[in-house]
Amino acid sequence: MASAEPSLEQMVAELWDREQIRQCLVRYCRGVDRFDRALILSAFHPDCLDEHGKFVGTPEEFVEWALGQHGAAHLSHQHCLLNQTVEIEGDTAHSETYFMFVCMNRKGKPLTLGGGRYVDRLDKRDGEWRIAARVTLRDWSMMDEIPDMDDLTSFTSTRAILPEPVKAFMNAGRGPARDTSDPSYDRPLTVDPSRRDGYLEMMAKTEKV
């Protein structure tokens, strides 16, 4: 028996949800590029965990880390959103959004260019969609040599000077895969809280070096 076609009201409601999810991602990118802390935080639920390469933490912690990194390394930058898939089930959505970032550097090569995916679980709370869990994946970067795809530090611009504890921490995390083991297939998407504990331990070690 064929399933009933969704009503016009249902289709419009889903389109509105999808647009609100897209706008959430747009707010995030604009906030990072403009160093607008409030705008970045508006894209996340406060209890979100973001696994973001060598960083894992809360939205408040992410803002301090990300703006500190960009401010120290770059004169300007853009985060551009590309393909997006969204699966909505009730008040939970899973989104995979391709991104490309371009940075004008303070030192070394003038330009850094790379791309990856924001893999998000979003929750609709009090009528508002925000990110509840995120895994940020790097898929490519402009490089002078072929990278080791099993080494997640290969895509970082600072890979040559990363301390060993940082490299070990990054390579213990989630990376991209060309099969269904990729984090974008996780249902529900979660970030293991022990990864944040490991991040804090790693930071304590590197601060002593």
The 10s digit of each residue's pLDDT in 31-88 is 999 999 999 999 999 999 999 999 999 999 999 999 999 999 999 999 999 999 999 9
CATH topology of domain 8-208: Nuclear Transport Factor 2; Chain: A, (3.10.450)
pLDDT band at 118 (very low <50, low <70, confident <90, very high): very high
Mean pLDDT of the chain: 94
> Cβ neighbours of residue 114 under 8 Å, at least 6 residues apart?
100, 101, 138, 140, 141, 142, 155
Pairing state between β 111-125 and 128-141:
antiparallel
C-alpha span between 149 and 133 (Å, rounded):
24
pLDDT band at 208 (very low <50, low <70, confident <90, very high): low
Pairing state between β 55-57 and 111-125:
unpaired
| Cα separations in angstroms, 148 against 74, 104, 106, 130, 163 | 25, 25, 26, 34, 18
Whole-model pTM: value is 0.95
Average pLDDT over every residue of 160-181: 92
Q: Per-residue pLDDT tens for 98-116?
A: 999 999 999 999 999 999 9
| Token duo for residue 88 | 């909505």
Q: Does an H or E element contain 56, and which?
A: strand 55-57
Report domain extents, the chain. 8-208
Residue 7 has pLDDT above 90, yes or no: yes
User: Could you say which DSSP state residue 5 is in?
Assistant: P
Pairing state between β 44-52 and 128-141:
parallel
Q: Per-residue pLDDT tens for 137-149?
A: 999 998 888 888 8
